[in-house]
Structure 1
């Protein structure tokens, strides 16, 4: 039996899947992510062993194992650094997890993993190009060009959240001012909409006529649309796929972003020529893109 394992290690949960040879999810397992190196390793190992028990195999029988994780990832060595939300400053994740499981482990940044997972889910071909726009706690993109991840010369391709859009804006944790991430991310919404339960709560209040919510919602959507425009103007992919926790609104978010893009196209022949509204879509809700992508990275990249 050919089974590839993909593990998505997030700040609060670890989600693992087993992919069959045809790409179908054969089993999945979710558990809380621990904090700190020892706890993160234990969470990842436990997830794999739970999948093995479900499928009636030993962990060493899995064909490949891949991991998607936040932070700065050295994909050659499998070392992870600066994953602040996980309490990781420097962890040789690939080697240590491989020693526990008896199989080599490939490690990749979680947004890159999700990009590859989204590309497969949406039927990407070998000549297809896609930008995956991750709207989570932060804002970043993963790029799949010609069926392969494009990381750039130093691994920072797609870090569009740290492109300043307002030089006089608030100070970003990266040290710059007015970064795009400050307006189009979960952390940005938390600052501009304090006390709100979720992006759905914000949307509901905005559509019910709450003036404050309408202002925050409009600003958020316009900056998401700006991120789409930025990706098309810099990479010119066939499509831009929106994913991440804030994409849970699905068609409601997609419709609002497309409306903004159409408005811009109405006043710019150049933007109209790019067909931006038709090139943006939202990842199917609840699809485990990062875990599936991690499994694909573990197999080959």
Structure 2
């Protein structure tokens, strides 16, 4: 049995996965704030799986954890996870002694990409030979790329960081210092900041206001679709992935978001036979609501770690 945890800003999703890759248990627990509380959250999630999902502790072979922020390559050290109040945390050092099994840590978007690939592997572009990009539309914008069942990280681990590709040098300023980045147009945080009105779900409020005819909301909504469509084009034109799966909080907009993105992709292909030949609108699909992709991907990361340990120690 392998466990996978997706540690989010407010909740942690945890799954138990058997040797056949089936999810046999799932729990959710609130995420604590700060490094010590995050470590306790991981331990609590494992305890809850043991009790509520009837996972014998002696059957647990590995634990994989998807974390926001940067994970230093080849380590379990997380840095700059600002949404968790974590500036620096070696998660394996904090929890492995109590768990007694190998612990591996991965960036949450990359973990979600691996999980989404596994969940969709029966759809024709997975199954161990196809390729997929998982495009996370949340506070920020980032992607994970999977080919043949393996994450593609690039030479320095930045493959998929499409959010900071500038598509409009005269566009809104991005937190990275550039202008007109995909994230500045389509990131939930940037949209909320530019909207500047109180609300629990600012991006949804923007869509509602745009439907009601608000001119400012219409500009923001159009920019979001433009940014997401640009990210899809970048991922297909550079990595030639078979499919782009959209996930993250912004995808809760559902058909309204997908219709806008599809219309933007269709419009951009209208004058280009080459772009039409790529059939981009048919290569984009949303991750189903409530999908455990990130937690499943974290469990698979743990499996990879377990395999590496086996080779390393004979």
Q: TM-score range by the shorter chain?
A: over 0.9
**Which residue number corresponds to residue 312 of structure 2?**
none
RMSD of aligned residue pairs (Cα, Å): 1.7
Aligned partner of 1:187 among 173, 189, 195: 189
Matches within 5 A, 1:108-123: 108-123=106-121
Aligned partner of 2:178 among 176, 179, 188: 176
Indicate if the aligned counterparts of 1:240 and 1:281 stay in contact, CA closer than 8 A.
yes
Q: Distance in 1 between matches of 2:247 and 2:238?
A: 19
Task: For structure 2, list consecutive stretches of 5 or more residues without a partner in the other structure.
Answer: 306-314
Task: Give 1:126 shift.
Answer: 1.2
Q: SS at the partner of 1:267?
A: coil
Aligned partner of 2:41 among 40, 43, 49: 43
- Structure 1's 95 and 60: CA in aligned 2 closer, same or farther, altered over 3 A? farther
Q: Distance in 1 between matches of 2:209 and 2:21?
A: 40
Bigger CA drift: 79-88 or 150-159?
A: 79-88
Q: Distance in 2 between matches of 1:222 and 1:248?
A: 18
Q: Distance in 2 between matches of 1:60 and 1:192?
A: 51
Bigger CA drift: 247-256 or 223-232?
A: 247-256
Task: Give 1:287 shift.
Answer: 0.3
Q: How many residue pairs align between the two structures?
A: 299
Bigger CA drift: 101-110 or 87-96?
A: 87-96
Aligned partner of 1:159 among 161, 165, 181: 161
Deviations 1:15-61 (A, max 9, x none): 11112333332222212211211011001110111111123345453
2:246 counterpart of 1:242? yes
Q: SS at the partner of 1:300?
A: helix
Deviations 1:49-89 (A, max 9, x none): 11111233454531221000011113522111111221222
- Structure 1's 24 and 204: CA in aligned 2 closer, same or farther, altered over 3 A? farther
Q: Distance in 2 between matches of 1:106 and 1:174?
A: 29
Task: Give 1:210 shift.
Answer: 3.1
* TM-score normalised by length of structure 1: 0.93
2:288 counterpart of 1:288? no
* TM-score normalised by length of structure 2: 0.90
Q: Distance in 2 between matches of 1:163 and 1:256?
A: 21
Indicate if the aligned counterparts of 1:75 and 1:107 stay in contact, CA closer than 8 A.
no
Task: For structure 1, list consecutive stretches of 5 or more residues without a partner in the other structure.
Answer: none
Q: Distance in 1 between matches of 2:256 and 2:83?
A: 29
Indicate if the aligned counterparts of 1:78 and 1:93 stay in contact, CA closer than 8 A.
yes
Q: Distance in 2 between matches of 1:251 and 1:235?
A: 26
- Structure 1's 197 and 214: CA in aligned 2 closer, same or farther, altered over 3 A? farther
Matches within 5 A, 1:1-301: 3-123=1-121, 124-195=126-197, 196-198=199-201, 199-300=203-304
